[in-house]
Structure 1
Amino acid sequence: MARTIKVDLFTDSVCPWCIVGSARLDKAIAELPDGVTVDVENHPFYLDPNTPEEGVVVAEMLREKYGRDPKEMWARVEQEAQSTGIDLDLSQQPPVFPTRKGHTLVRLAREKGTQHALANAIASAYFLDHRQIHDDKVLADIAVAHGFTREEAIAAVNDSEALRITHELAVAAAQQGIQGVPFFIFDNRFAVSGCQPQEMFTRAFEAAIDPSKLQQQAN
């Protein structure tokens, strides 16, 4: 019997744990049995809603805030990424700017059927290719491989109304109680918070397919 599972996924493209968590979700999806499909809907979230418009160098910000070498703080996520097949070197990440432009493209890609792939591509461009995803041309380069024309993408990231809607959705996510990302909601019934092991996503899908397993896991 065919079964579609809905996953609402909240991420930010400059969140290193998000690129790992999304990859683990995708690996769990790839292992699902025939007849089970997954509809992943990506939603905007601001890792740091106070990111200045002029951007911030993450290493400098962390060193100033915590008085530690940022490499110490990056080591765990880099190790987790490596175990997931992602070659993550956070010392190479570009400055962070507000992410509403990328979020807007991802939101608009929902109707094109390329939303989740585009969200992953933007995060990969930032963390793995070290591209500045605040730049309109860079975002357009990525978007054209996911159903947009260059003109359409450039217009979208400069559309004040589209940006306003995206901003309100990101703020609303935090107001509704989501305190960190990645954050996953399965079939609007239960949530998985944070970058969990792939096995956790496998169990979540098992519970979505057979709700009785959700109670068993809780016991």
Structure 2
Amino acid sequence: MTPLRIDLVTDIVCPWCFIGTRRLDDLVGRLGEPVEIVHHPFLLDPSIPPEGMDLRERLRTKYGADPEAMFARVEAAAHEAGIPLDFAKVRRTPATEKAHALVAAAAAWGAQQPLALALFEAYFLEGADIGNTRTLVEIAAPFGLSDEEVVAIAESPEARNAVRKAAAELSAQGISGVPFFVFGNRFALSGAQPEAVLEEAMRRARAEEAAE
């Protein structure tokens, strides 16, 4: 069976993206069908400086309210998806261009999906600074990227510019919310959809491929 291509647009600091990516991963594992998950970068806030920002201060400024109620709602959804998310561990919003550049490079090793999940887990479950190159070296080690390769990618202005360009192009195409899924270049879904919704989109995309 030919693998079904699933394009997935996310930002590593988006908790709903973590939930959506995990749900997709669980679904693919349960179904056992061949798929090709292709990750694309999105920057929720392109103005985040390289050193990152205090998460709570940024959200208070953006929404004019205490973010703790928002955190509780996201934590509840994450727990339903089997993710022990605890925002008490997440203190800062890092810049994500370096992390996205690593995920893009991991396509050559067929490791985009596991590396993306490892980055989500490091940030949301451990509070790791995924904008820091040394942190990225540790996270990427199990996925076929040497320390030297990680440093070269993370510190490359060209790689980071490519991330910003790709993210801007996706925004220009009308993608304003993530996660965003495209199944077999046919069916698009926005948001951290339940597994049943993702499964139906996969089924419809498969059916249309078979009918061609």
TM-score calculated relative to the size of structure 1: 0.91
The equivalent residue for 1:217 is none
- Deviations 1:191-210 (Å, cap 9, x if unpaired)? 01001111111111111222
The equivalent residue for 2:164 is 167
**Residues 5-154 of structure 1: pairs in structure 2 closer than 5 A:** 5-32=4-31, 36-154=33-151
Structure 1 Cα separation of the partners of residues 62 and 156 of structure 2: 34
Say how many residue pairs are matched: 209
Structure 2 Cα separation of the partners of residues 189 and 89 of structure 1: 36
Give secondary structure in 1 for the equivalent of 2:9: strand
For residue 159 of structure 1, report the CA deviation from its aligned partner.
1.2
**Residues 201-212 of structure 1: pairs in structure 2 closer than 5 A:** 201-211=198-208
Gaps of 5+ in 1: 213-219
The equivalent residue for 2:155 is 158
The equivalent residue for 1:3 is 2
Give secondary structure in 2 for the equivalent of 1:31: helix
For residue 111 of structure 1, report the CA deviation from its aligned partner.
0.6
Q: Tell me, yes or no, if the aligned pair for 2:18 and 2:120 is still in contact at 8 Å.
A: yes
Aligned-residue sequence identity (percent) comes to: 42
Q: Tell me, yes or no, if the aligned pair for 2:123 and 2:129 is still in contact at 8 Å.
A: yes
Q: Tell me, yes or no, if the aligned pair for 1:62 and 1:70 is still in contact at 8 Å.
A: yes
Gaps of 5+ in 2: none
For residue 5 of structure 1, report the CA deviation from its aligned partner.
0.6
Q: Which runs of 4+ in 1 moved over 6 A?
A: none
- Deviations 1:2-35 (Å, cap 9, x if unpaired)? 13110000001100001000011111111225xx
- Deviations 1:165-218 (Å, cap 9, x if unpaired)? 121111111111110110000011110100111111111111122239xxxxxx
- Cα RMSD over matched residues? 1.4
- Deviations 1:84-124 (Å, cap 9, x if unpaired)? 10011123213112210000000011011111111111111
Q: Tell me, yes or no, if the aligned pair for 1:59 and 1:91 is still in contact at 8 Å.
A: no
Q: Which amino acid aligns with 2:5?
A: K
